[in-house]
Amino acid sequence: LVVAELQDIRRIDMARSAYRGPLEIVPSDDAISRLLTQNILHPGLSSFLREVLTARAGNEILLRRVGNLAGATLKEVTGQFPNVIVMGLVRSADESPSVSLNPVSSTRLEAGDKLVMLARSLADTAPAQAAGSRLPPIERPEARRSRRQAAGKHRLLVLGWNQRVPNLLDELASYGDRDFEVRLVSSSDIGMRREEIERYSARAARVPVEHVQEDFLLAGSLRAGDLEGVTSILLLASDRLASEEEADARTIVGHRLIESLLAGRDKRPQILLELADAANEGLAGATGVEAVISPLIVSHLLARIALQPAIRQIFDELFTVGGPEIEFRPLSAYGLRAGERFRDMEAAVAARGDTLLGVQARESGGLVLNPPRETRFEDSSSVLCVLTSA
């Protein structure tokens, strides 16, 4: 198996024709654009990505063959894994595996299936041998989705330019039920930007973009009034500077400027930073600011796909329009209150057709994925991290 990084997804057919053996391609620009878009749509997602997609301590997505559990339903087997959260399964059909995330609990396992688990270690994915260690079964019916209310206009302020911007616009445009309006401030030539966007795809070119040619770090380039009505602010890592340190320095100084313009406001836009070096993440420093470290995520994806090729299909399923999504919802969305055990929260979320992955306590600011089932969360402002179906 060859695992290859390809920056431009438009060259994927050329790459496949160049190698006839088993090949997994990770289009890095496309992958990061998807993650940035999902984070814009679902504020808070960066906490999940930081733990699961960067090889740090904590949980990651692991696969385990069902073995002698074949023939049983998910309801019958998930309780045998008390230290993990079963997110779904991978089923091998011919040579192309299919991924089913957040499936109903009546799904019956077949020989050759692999369970998709959120777990801290491979050892945790082993079924519990003692009956007393097992969890009670959880019923997850098919989710009844109310018709999504039309979202209002999403005003996105993008500061900076890199080669991923056309891909990012194309990804934003793929969400046809969303109404994006983009203001792009960069010192790069406007004509070049428009040409790159139009060359990338007709869909990307349809996103309304107001181009501004200015260095946003210069005094007076950005004013407090420029942030009125803005839903999200995205500061991009430049790919035109000599080093990652210099690129991140601009991003972090830009963030400081934004914070000064937002001082004293009760209602703040979402702020998302793209960083090139994980060592600089702590410099962002402000509560409520999110960071995505592009090279770290791509390198971890490449390593994981080399070990378990089905990870690529899981990534595609999770972070592509029309598939299941990771969202953050209040306790009240599932009729829950503060102080309940995680296992009871898990059952309540499952009863609505979703999968509970963790809890984010707003007061402490930390996302706790896959906690011990007896853990109680006392913060009434806690937010649930859930896996939902399309």
pLDDT digits (tens, 9 = 90+) for 351-368: 999 999 999 987 666 899
φ and ψ at residue 143, rounded to 5 degrees: -65, 140
Topology match between the domains 60-133 and 148-293 = no
Ordered strands of the 270-275 beta sheet: 209-213, 179-186, 153-159, 232-235, 270-275, 289-293
Reading the block at residue 303, the tokens are 């390593």
Q: Which of 203, 199, 196 is nearest to 170 (CA)?
A: 203
Reading the block at residue 313, the tokens are 């299909």
The topology (CATH level 3) of 324-388 is Alpha-Beta Plaits (3.30.70)
Instruction: Name the pTM for this structure.
Output: 0.91
Its CATH class, for the domain covering 60-133, is: alpha beta
Let me know: does 134 contact 80? Beta carbons within 8 Å. Answer: yes
pLDDT for the residue 348: 97
Every domain of the chain and the residues it spans: 60-133, 148-293, 324-388
Q: Which of 28, 23, 24 is nearest to 8 (CA)?
A: 28
The topology (CATH level 3) of 148-293 is Rossmann fold (3.40.50)
Strands (E) in 232-300, as ranges, are: 232-235, 270-275, 289-293
Per-residue confidence band for 284, with pLDDT thresholds at 50, 70 and 90 = low
Tell me: pLDDT of 390 over 90: no
Q: Which of 349, 348, 371 is nearest to 360 (CA)?
A: 371
pLDDT digits (tens, 9 = 90+) for 54-108: 767 799 999 999 999 999 999 999 999 999 999 999 998 666 789 999 999 999 9
Q: In this structure, what DSSP letter does residue 368 have?
A: E
